[in-house]
Structure 1
Amino acid sequence: MTGTEEAAGAGQDRQVRVVLVDDHRMFRTGVRAEIGETGRTGIDVVGEADDVEQAVTVVTATRPDVVLLDVHLPGGGGVEVLRRCAPLMTEGADGAAAVRFLALSVSDAAEDVIGVIRGGARGYVTKTITGTDLVAAIFRVADGDAVFSPRLAGFVLDAFAATDTPPVDEDLDRLTQREREVLRLIARGYAYKEIAKQLFISVKTVESHVSAVLRKLQLSNRHELTRWATARRLV
């Protein structure tokens, strides 16, 4: 029996309570449609949130089994949610089970993966995951396993195996997480419309992020930007 089949079978015997945290309502609606058929999957979506403050409030109030957490959120991002919800990640004095977090993001950047895992998340999957595989991942995380999309686990192994602290890149640190996402996609050759679709933002917002990146890095055009990102192995 595969892991997916095992998860589906487990869903017939128990319910996993889930909170969805993502700042795009349409995406949350899509995920709920994929995983929220309680009778079929054994998953019960008990709450939603679209920013850090709301996420902390909803998770604290509902104390779900698993939180599906986007990395990039208004108010400080997924790492801030993890920091503020840290007391919930251990079993409560009242016997309440620990809340476990599974990052679900469009980003496959090493720094994003490592950041949320250091923050306490039990896994990290990208938004290209199928609904069936996401259900299986939720059950595995609820059981205490670590779950990663292919190749992302390598980032974590490399990071935690390293004995030296990586050098700080002051130029990169000037960029916000969203600007880094846009930078990486531009460097990979994506058009503005493709980036907008992948990040669930408008083309105008993409243009604004690109302008900000060029200004902060003191670059003139996307070709220089691509060379800059390639030299730092960000592509």
Structure 2
Amino acid sequence: MTIRVLLADDQAMVRGGLRLILEDQPDITVVAEASDGVDAVAQARRLRPDVCLVDIRMPRLDGLQVTRALAGPGVVDPLRVIVVTTFDLDEYVYGALRGGAVGFILKDAGPALLVEAVRAADNGDALVSPSITLRLLRHLTPAGTPPGHRLVEALSRRETEVVRALARGRTNQEIAAELFISLSTVKSHLSGIQTKLGLRNRVEIAAWAWENRVVDGA
């Protein structure tokens, strides 16, 4: 199936470049473009794209506000949002991921990573530009969670292995191969882990793993 993407960026040249990169892929099509945050939210809610690529700095509503409106806590049937920006400030990264984004990609990361992030989001995975991943995961505290209230002991041995692999940046497919389990089993474990820890997505699971030193060498 074709992955339907919405592009939101206030610069027409940037939108055009992203469209060319994405539509060069046989499994991706751009269904809409927006030049400001209000239009992005309206089109996203109307068209229900599979993935929304959203810039941070836009008129009327910025990318963080758009992310919260489409994917934030309390949103019924949230959309998958990837923030694509030239700015890797910690406040933007934290704000985007705590607002529900499933990815944070720098515009200079290259076409391959952009395409990979779109496919990962469509598959229910998350991807953050490698240049900021470790910095993010070593410092991000999951929203609304006092440290120490989520005990490592709450996880089974297998769930802990899944968390460790995820925190090292493995996709679901890679976790399945690494642990010699099926893809459906990985997804089942992740669902159980989110329920046990009260987390919303795999990025928050990874952040929790680093914060609680579940990852070897953390």
- TM-score above 0.5: yes
Structure 1 segment 80-159 matched on structure 2, within 5 A: 80-86=65-71, 92=77, 98-157=78-137, 158-159=139-140
Offset of residue 88 of structure 1: 10
Gaps of 5+ in 1: 1-13, 93-97, 165-235
Q: Which amino acid aligns with 1:160?
A: T
Within 1, Cα distance between the matches of 2:112 and 2:68?
29
CA separation of 1:133 and 1:151: change in aligned 2, threshold 3 A? closer
Offset of residue 131 of structure 1: 1.5
Q: Which amino acid aligns with 1:41?
A: P
Q: How many residues align?
A: 144
Which residue number corresponds to residue 10 of structure 2?
A: 23
SS at match of 1:102: strand
SS at match of 2:7: strand
Which residue number corresponds to residue 182 of structure 1?
A: none
Pair 1:79 & 2:59 matched? no
* Counterpart selection for 2:43 from 22, 41, 58: 58
CA separation of 1:89 and 1:144: change in aligned 2, threshold 3 A? farther
Structure 1 segment 176-215 matched on structure 2, within 5 A: none
Gaps of 5+ in 2: 148-218
Which residue number corresponds to residue 177 of structure 1?
A: none
Offset of residue 155 of structure 1: 3.9
Within 2, Cα distance between the matches of 1:130 and 1:42?
18
Within 2, Cα distance between the matches of 1:48 and 1:100?
16
CA-to-aligned-CA distance 1:16-35 (integer Å, 9 cap, x gap): 00000111001000110111
Offset of residue 76 of structure 1: 3.1
CA separation of 1:66 and 1:89: change in aligned 2, threshold 3 A? farther
CA-to-aligned-CA distance 1:4-44 (integer Å, 9 cap, x gap): xxxxxxxxxx210000011100100011011113xx43101
CA separation of 1:89 and 1:146: change in aligned 2, threshold 3 A? farther
Within 1, Cα distance between the matches of 2:36 and 2:61?
8
CA RMSD of aligned residues (A): 2.3
Which residue number corresponds to residue 207 of structure 1?
A: none
CA-to-aligned-CA distance 1:178-200 (integer Å, 9 cap, x gap): xxxxxxxxxxxxxxxxxxxxxxx
Within 2, Cα distance between the matches of 1:99 and 1:130?
24
Q: Is the 8 A contact 1:22 1:50 kept in 2?
A: yes
Offset of residue 142 of structure 1: 1.0
Offset of residue 150 of structure 1: 1.4
Offset of residue 50 of structure 1: 1.1
TM (norm. structure 2) is 0.60
How many percent of aligned residue pairs carry the same amino acid? 33
Q: Is the 8 A contact 2:5 2:29 kept in 1?
A: yes
Structure 1 segment 8-47 matched on structure 2, within 5 A: 14-37=1-24, 40-47=25-32
Within 1, Cα distance between the matches of 2:52 and 2:74?
11
Structure possessing the higher radius of gyration over alpha carbons: 1
SS at match of 2:45: helix
Q: Which amino acid aligns with 2:35?
A: D
Within 1, Cα distance between the matches of 2:109 and 2:66?
23
